[in-house]
Amino acid sequence: MKKQSQICVVGNGAVGKASALALAQAGYAVTLLSPSQAESNASKWKASGEWDSRVYALNHATKNLLSSLKVWDAMDQARIAPIEAMDIKGDDAQHAGHLSFDAYGAHVGALAWIVEDGNLNHALDNALQFTQGVEIVQATATQMHVDAEEVQIDLNNGSAIHTSLVLGADGANSWVRAQTDIGLDYRSYDQLAVVANFSCDKPHHGVASQWFLGAEGIVALLPLAGSQVSLVWSAPDKLAETLLSETAEQLASRLNKLPQLTLGELHPLPPAVPRGFPLRLMRAHSFAAERTVLVGDAAHVFHPLAGQGMNLGFADVIALLEALGPADANTDCGDARALQRYARSRKEEVLLMQLATDGLERLFTSDFTPLRVLRNTGMNIVNRVPFLKRSLIKHALGKSPSIFS
């Protein structure tokens, strides 16, 4: 059986789903190729009512995109927590560094919003069911054949998809990327992101807190709705294995000893089972090949210390829409010039984020005393210089192209 579409999106994550919605809204005929699942993680999240331990800090540009797709308001608003301030702490008292931002100083209502993976994907799934121009195919791609006119994707069910453009949104281990001649920069951080959720005795007041602990990694406590927080501990592999082998109560006991913790005692939230995700740096040498583009983790993966990974993925979607423009019967959406416009538009921002996150990770996980003094002194200087703080805040808020304003 042969299926025909203008664009085939490969991947069932949030960025892939948003890509399919946005491209269909722009008038393209889209096929979303997604592996078969008996029950999606988003459906399980909705049914359980438990807090998802995987959360994202979504910035203003991402919110504008999701609002334009009628997804933002479709999420459970009671489960979305605004970040009203950020408080970043350096090393121990001898080398203490401190940096803080707040929404009031940035002249915005919130710096970002903490959204659970299940909440976001549940809203995206519902939007896809009611969007014209998107056909969801549940199958696995086995081969991809590219020529000057189109791409043929063979599926494991014996059928094939014929399309003008393939959009790889299939994650860090991208099958689409592997079918091209695109090279990849890769480095393992030898760390795991240990994630879990906790209730706290005292209100968090919308503050996202982060501790740089040198050899013990980086701890972030992100505000959830109510007096609850989500943990992301970027821990060296050996420490991470210990954290994951302990009970959630033991993990809470470790967190309760964090310096200058203002939340009172932390208590595990169900399901109270910490999870771990490997941390690595990955960046494709190009985000476009013949009739193929990459978005999200298929194109780039960074350390989570800046919390911008998902935002960069959604920024890819915005840039691709701008490069392609609205659907036109006379326009080939797989045209090499349009794809190269997209690739060039993303090159600088992604490279800068790679350099920033990788450099900060190297700087803040070192126990070399001169570096500890340097990094904490630098934090204190930035905290006292309004111009530098405004520049960092502006970058964190994200760009907001006019088409999604």
pLDDT, tens digit, 9 for 90 and up, residues 84-95: 999 988 775 455
Banded model confidence at residue 388, pLDDT cuts 50, 70, 90: low
**What's the rounded mean pLDDT across residues 152-176?**
96
What per-residue confidence (pLDDT) applies to 321? Answer: 96
Model confidence over 123-136: pLDDT tens digits?
999 999 999 999 99
- pLDDT attached to residue 272: 83
Q: Would you say residue 369 has pLDDT above 90? A: no
Domain ranges of the chain: 2-50+117-185+280-365, 77-116+189-278+381-396
Higher local confidence (pLDDT), 316 or 365: 316
pLDDT band at residue 381 using 50, 70 and 90 as cut-offs: low
What's the confidence (pLDDT) of residue 379?
Answer: 63
Which residues, 6 or more positions from 182, have their beta carbon under 8 angstroms from its beta carbon? 284, 285, 286, 289, 294
pLDDT at 392: 66
Provide the pLDDT for residue 90.
77
| Coil, helix or strand at residue 371 | helix
How high is the mean pLDDT of the chain? 90
Neighbouring CB atoms inside 10 A of 18's CB total 28
* Residue 355: per-residue pLDDT: 85
> Could you tell me the fold of the domain covering 77-116+189-278+381-396?
D-Amino Acid Oxidase; Chain A, domain 2 (3.30.9)
In this predicted structure, which of 35-39, 48-52, 251-255, 359-363 has the lowest mean pLDDT?
35-39
Whether pLDDT at 306 is above 50 = yes
241-276 residue pLDDT tens = 999 999 999 999 999 999 889 999 999 998 889 999
Looking at the predicted structure, is the pLDDT value of residue 405 above 50? Answer: no
Across residues 220-227, what is the average pLDDT? 96
pLDDT of residue 400: 42
Q: Can you tell me the mean pLDDT for 14-22?
A: 98
b/e per residue, 80-108, with b = 16+ CB within 10 A? bbebbbbbbbbbeeebebebebbbeebee
Q: Which CATH architecture has domain 2-50+117-185+280-365?
A: 3-Layer(bba) Sandwich (3.50)
Average pLDDT over residues 387-405: 55
Residue 41: what pLDDT?
A: 80
The pLDDT of residue 404: 40
pLDDT(111) > 80: yes
Predicted pLDDT at 324: 96
Angle, helices 117-129/14-25, rounded to nearest 10 degrees: 30
Is the pLDDT at 109 greater than 50? The verdict is: yes
Give the 3-state DSSP-derived string for 18-81, with helices as H, strands as E and coil as C.
HHHHHHHHCCCCEEEEECCCCCCHHHHHHHHCCCCCCEEEECHHHHHHHHHCCCCCCCCHHHCE
- Does 398 have pLDDT greater than 60? yes
The C-alpha atoms of residue 219 and residue 212 are separated, in whole angstroms, by: 7
* Higher-confidence position of 325 and 37: 325
Percent of the chain at pLDDT exceeding 90:
72
Beta bridge pairs of residue 175: none
Q: Is it the case that residue 402 has pLDDT exceeding 70?
A: no
